[in-house]
Amino acid sequence: MSCSRKDANAALLSNFEVFQLLTDLKQQRKESGKSKQSSGQQNLNTIMYETLKYISKTPCRYQSPETVREFLIAMKGHKLTKAEKLQLLNHRPVTAVEIQLMVEESEERLTEEQIESLLQTVASILPGDPEEQQRDSAMETEGRGSQ
Amino acid sequence: MFVLVEMTDTVRIPPWQFERKLNESIAEELNKKLANKVVYNVGLCICLYDITKLEDSYIFPGDGASHTKVHFRYVVFHPFLDEILVGEIKSCSQDGVHVSIGFFDDIVIPPESLQQPAKFDEAEQVWVWEYETEEGAHDLYMDIGEEIRFRVVDETFVDTSPTGPSSAEASTSNATEEVQKKEAPYTLVVTMCIIPIVSQSQWLILFLK
């Protein structure tokens, strides 16, 4: 292969960005019609299909550019590395255990309240599964009603 | 999980495609060359992100096609060290548990990285985690299709380009043997996500999710 690599790590991409890119590309190819597609495109079709299938099962399918921007602004105060913020964005953790997995040396860097506040920020800014959220809010109102 | 890689390459456009827009032809050629392929020491290429610079196109004597040097950025699957990913168990063997994420399958959990004590059940060909609590021992089977959370520990790139004539001579003596073992160009060695926790229910959440 003659292609040379200038920068193997020019930027980290979030699952959401790749999701958007592939969805747009799929739309473009559908619109341009099948006449232009030659047999050489089979690899691209395969990888696009499989990658889209995988990413669509992650929380990024509920995200939008605005939520990602909001999330990054909210994360500024927590002193996390880029890689840690990216993992929080891609996985949308809901338990303290998951935060401990993603943040290095979390016992030393974060207190329990900080972990709690991180979870709150993640849950409030990043949208989750709408069905689950409906169920959760229904359970909450039930609980309040029975009091 | 994904990174943007800046690359340069010279793309050859044959004359019968001259009527198409240059950018489109180049994008198609680059995707044809790189999509779903592993580039040595870079990762698994997914698709073209954008073209940053197009240099002048040249036509060389004897070849009617145009050659254009292109600077572009490509989306590549290349998880960083210690990244947490979610995948599905594909199969188990003596060398460990094989995990897949759909578009990439060469992910292996070596036996040492499984929660100890773990043993390989020959009859069912699965790895079993013998989990002990006060109530007794529970056997947790790593069944096929189960979702598993893992952390990337190591990666290996193997150069699978065809070998030159000198080594071909050596291998003709083994011509009667079966085809050489195919090596995966890019393999990830991972470990299951475990951290010491107190309650059993939390263990199960980590394991089953």
Weakest-pLDDT range from A3-17, A124-138, B160-174? B160-174
Distance from CA of A44 to the nearest CA of B (A): 5
pLDDT tens digits, A86-95: 999 998 888 8
pLDDT band at A106 (very low <50, low <70, confident <90, very high): confident
pLDDT, residue B14, reads 94
Which residue has 């499984």 as its token pair? Answer: B114
Name, in order, each residue with C-beta under 8 angstroms of B96's C-beta and a sequence gap of 6 or more. B108, B109, B110, B111, B113, B114, B127
pLDDT, residue A41, reads 85
pLDDT band at A132 (very low <50, low <70, confident <90, very high): low
At residue B113, the 3 state secondary structure works out as: helix
- What proportion of chain A, given as a percentage, has pLDDT over 70? 82
Distance from CA of A86 to the nearest CA of B (A): 9
Which of A7, A21, A47 is facing B103, going by the closest CB pair?
A: A47
Which of B5, B31, B103 is facing A7, going by the closest CB pair?
A: B5
Q: Of chain A residues 12-31, which have a CB less than 8 A from chain B?
A: 12-15, 17-18, 21-22, 25
> Hey, are the CB atoms on A41 and B32 less than 8 Å from each other?
yes
A58 contacts in chain B (CB < 8 Å): 86
Nearest-angstrom CA–CA distance, A143 and B83? 38
pLDDT, residue B79, reads 93
Q: State the pTM of this model.
A: 0.84
Nearest-angstrom CA–CA distance, B129 and B81? 25
The ranges of chain B with pLDDT < 70 are 132-138, 166-181, 194-209
Distance from CA of A145 to the nearest CA of B (A): 29
B31 contacts in chain A (CB < 8 Å): 41, 43-44
- Share the mean pLDDT of chain A: 82
Question: What ipTM was estimated for this complex?
Answer: 0.84
